[in-house]
Structure 1
Amino acid sequence: MPERPAAAALPDAVRGHWADRLAPAALRPYLRLARVERPIGWWLLLLPCWWSAALAAIAGGAPWPNPLHCLLFLIGAVAMRGAGCTYNDIVDRDLDTRVERTRGRPLPSGQVSLKGALAFLALQGFVGLAVLLQFNGFAIGTGFASLGIVALYPFMKRFFWMPQIVLGLAFAWGALMGWAAAFGALGIPALLLYGGSIAWVVGYDTIYALQDIEDDEIAGIKSSARFFGERVRLGVGICYALTLGFLIPAFLLAGAGLPAYAGLGLFAAHLAWQVIRIDRSDGMGALRLFRSNRDAGLILFAAMTLDAILRAF
């Protein structure tokens, strides 16, 4: 009987992650399928949720973002990011064999069977559903409304030059969820926050796509990095400018104070630094810039939370 291929760490994984060192060998391919060893994905899915919870706290006069909601968003982000990646890999298992960075993933490399991947997808979806059902009815309906976009995204890179826009529609959905969970409705500040989060996702995922630009050209995979070409720095800069163009009125309408705007200023400075540092020929540098968005997002969340706390006390 042929020996199963070894589950080697992927090139963009966090080095020395516990999933590669401590997890039982039989589980490692499934953890990689969920991108557990690349936590930046669930961080970037989580942050718009936390921003939305913090913005709702500011608008509603709460002393801080609802702690239970933030915990549920954390669990849900990890589960649904894993489910989304598993679904994406199921759809892209043939395309992934043509790209150097992705051909070692569990499905194209044969470490996980299609049947096993489908079962794992169902398990993660169940966890996400259990989390979603803890919220009010409006938030539950809002969460379900995102599934169509999530299902559509993996197919977009085959014919749409800006699949990152569809990714943004899905990954930024949390910007609606925090507000919906707090108020049982959506308001204009939440919609503006959603628009800004979409632009942020398109910007940082364009940077991420620079790692694959040569292989994508060979495989015929479309991306915003290929679309912008030599003007990728300008393209990302426009995305980040749109991010601020949406967030500023969202803060104004929610009644944000000086701490929130100070955090927004630091967030803007971080995005500007990313744009300046973009180099189309430096794949590892692009990965570092992409990962740095976790820190940018946490700075903004911390400032918004501080704003809510100071208002209350």
Structure 2
Amino acid sequence: MHAPPLPEMAPDTDTDTDTDTASLMEQILYEVKRVVVGQDRFLERVMVALLAQGHLLVEGVPGLAKTLTVKTLAQTLQGQFKRIQFTPDLMPADLVGTRLFNPRNGEFSTALGPVFTHLLLADEINRAPAKVQSALLEVMQERQVTLAGETHRVPSPFLVMATQNPIETEGTYPLPEAQLDRFMMKVHIGYPSDEEELAIVQRVIAPPVIVQPVARMEALVALQAACRQVYLDPALLQYAVRLVSATRQPARHGLPELQAWLSAGASPRATIALAEGARALALMRGRRYALPEDLTDLVPEVLRHRLTLSYEALAEGHSPDSLISRLMGRVSPPPRVLQHDAPTVSSL
């Protein structure tokens, strides 16, 4: 059976662009779900990160299809996929590359590392020391690597998905705050239900599913451009600013008890992530305008890794998610705005 023609770029007209955007995203998710069972929220967050050009930190026990999801997505989009197993003896050059000397001609050459790919899986990222983590700072933010004074751009689009095990902490290192802030979202993955686990076993023992490519990476670049055109009302942007500001100065927003529980709040990157993520989620839900629920649905994932809890908060058993829940209960979202003025796309 021949695969359908692969779209490269979205058409220019608004109507055709809307139709092709909805159709292409539906095809991508359908193809991934032919292999990956369940994990709907996780898959949605991966697509949000791709569309919003962000990175993902995933926390979950082994065996929950984290690697399989990214690998299948790369096959669906005909992109490059590389996996790095983080270990204590890993060196920065093992990630970004290094300069090599050739004694035959007396010249240096550049050997680029595995970060030069479209989809990079950093498996158990917290098992490598800080000097290795620092090697990811430039490439995650600037999409480039500097070696011996020369700048090398990574392929576009570029996504880092890092995993860490919440149970086993022996031999792990805490991630630097600067690196945590570069992750757009932190997603928690739980165990599948009994029905989903039965379906997982049935697929594993059956003949493997052949993943069909449905698009090229150029199509994903076009989707990212369409995401930037999604309308974001100023009231939603102001709501995002208030939420993030409340993590820094909770007393100003009517939450004085949180002042002693938060040692540090979220940076402006959190506000940007909320705005861009809301656009991406709205596009995935078939709209060319964002609604308050598009933003509020992403607040826990965007903020939970950016909050630094005090010793007092930890001693009293508080978690980032519980404090975020208090913040959201106090800082109210705006009402739905301008639904009648914005064009829509067909529902996915």
Q: Same fold per TM (> 0.5)?
A: no
The structure having more radius of gyration, on CA atoms, is: 2
Structure showing the higher strand proportion among its residues? 2
**Given the two structures, how large is their TM-score scaled by the length of structure 1?**
0.32
